[in-house]
Amino acid sequence: MGLKDLRLEPTIYMLPEYATEGEAREYLRECCGIIFEDQLNGWYRLASAWPTDRSFENFNRWFEYDFHSMLVDLCENRLKHEEY
């Protein structure tokens, strides 16, 4: 599986609701280490070979990402939606 294949089937990560892209980026900054490790584990399971710098700055060098404001769940067992 090459980079082209990975781009065709990206992993989707849901963030808490946000008002601006800057706010979304801050949420991503807070959890980028978790995403970094999750992605590395999918590529190569030997954790000792992973890069030690999993900062947000390095995350931005390793990964491409987009923010999308809508997710429509059409499954029979839908995600729980809470009203505020």
Cα 69 to Cα 62: distance, rounded to the nearest angstrom: 23
**DSSP result, 22-35:** HHHHHHHHHHHHHH
Residue closest to 18 by CA, chosen among 71, 77, 79: 71
**Residue 9: per-residue pLDDT:** 79
Q: What is the mean pLDDT of the chain?
A: 86
* 8 A C-beta contact, residue 33 and residue 57: no
pTM of the model: 0.75
Confidence of residue 84 (pLDDT cuts 50, 70, 90): very low
Q: How far is CA 58 from the centre of its chain?
A: 14
Taking only the tens place, the pLDDT of each residue in 47-63 is 899 999 999 999 999 99
Radius of gyration of the chain (CA): 15
